Structure 1
Amino acid sequence: MTSIEAYATTRTGTFPERLAAAVGLLLALALLRLPFRHTVRAVRWARRAGRRPLAPERAEALIAAVRHAGHLWPVRCACAETSLGAVLAAALLGRRLAWCLGARFAPPPTAYHAWAEVPGHGPVGEYTTGGWHHHAALVI
């Protein structure tokens, strides 16, 4: 979990977004305990369920709501859990986000990372200024 995610504790979004964020995070925590092929299948199903892409500003609020809900759970809620939770929450709201797995490059550290993105707009809720670059290896 990056330092930006660790301090994002403000409650954002509408009530349906916060409810979908909590349910999406709960589903993500359950899916990430299964074999990865089942997780990929569920994300592909969720992408088909979402009719239209989520607006970038609403996607920011949804990811912040998922991060806030993650502070209420006594388990690990890092990048994989929050990004998958946001994708599933968007599907519950009838919208679509892409789930990306790859690497985040910066000046000193390079790390494996997972993030959600609005197609054509890049990573959502991520720190992309200051030399941080996200390179996806798998986009679902």
Structure 2
Amino acid sequence: MAPRHTTASAAPLLVCALAVICLALAIPGHRFPLPWLMRAMSVLRRFPPAEPDFARRVHEAALAARPSWWGGRIACMEVSLATVLALGLCRRRVSWVLGARALPNEAHAWIQGDGFTLGLDEDDPVRPWTPLLITPEPPTRKGE
């Protein structure tokens, strides 16, 4: 008897394929000037927020899509940008956050959604991460 194809088994394959494509776009794309990236991501404001479980699966797929043979840099900035792009292609919104902390100075990129954060594992109260840029900015409610 032939195996049945269900949407549950097809979804991870589609998510992985989307993560690979978006990672391939994010590697050279993160080198564009920051104002260009911010303007391009402003389109995402119109989309509904991403569900935490779906965003987590896309982020994990982007992490898994990093090829071991690649000699260049594929770190937090590229993976988080790929995740934002992949979710945007799924018509879902998360924010791409660029932040820093001091002593010693470090920079980091992560993803922030409605009530969840991806790619920011360290919770150090002595040296917390400070978000410097959040794009697209979360939509504001009228009257605020």
Q: TM-score, normalization: structure 2? A: 0.72
Superposition RMSD in Å: 2.3
Aligned residues: 123
Deviation, structure 1 residue 126: 2.6
Deviation, structure 1 residue 86: 0.4
The equivalent residue for 2:130 is 135
Alpha-carbon distance in structure 2 between the residues aligned to 1:40 and 1:65: 24
Given candidates 15, 21, 24, the residue that maps to 1:23 is 21
Q: Which has the higher strand share?
A: 1
Alignment map for 1:1-16 (pairs within 5 Å): 14-16=12-14
Consecutive unaligned residues in structure 1, runs of 5 or more: 1-12
Aligned pair in 2 of structure 1 residues 133, 56: CA closer, same or farther (>3 Å)? farther
Please list every run of at least 4 consecutive aligned residues from structure 1 whose deviation after the TM superposition is greater than 6 angstroms: none
Higher alpha-carbon Rg: 2
Q: CA contact under 8 A between 1:20 and 1:90: conserved in structure 2?
A: no
- Answering whether residue 106 of structure 2 is matched by residue 111 of structure 1, we say yes
Aligned pair in 2 of structure 1 residues 72, 43: CA closer, same or farther (>3 Å)? farther
Q: Secondary structure at the match of 2:65?
A: helix
The equivalent residue for 1:10 is none
Alpha-carbon distance in structure 2 between the residues aligned to 1:94 and 1:32: 21
87-96 vs 67-76, which deviates more? 67-76
Deviation, structure 1 residue 104: 4.8
Given candidates 79, 82, 91, the residue that maps to 1:82 is 79
Consecutive unaligned residues in structure 2, runs of 5 or more: 1-10, 136-144
Q: CA contact under 8 A between 1:21 and 1:85: conserved in structure 2?
A: yes
Provide the identity percentage. Answer: 31
The equivalent residue for 1:43 is 41
Q: Secondary structure at the match of 1:53?
A: coil
Alpha-carbon distance in structure 1 between the residues aligned to 2:57 and 2:81: 15
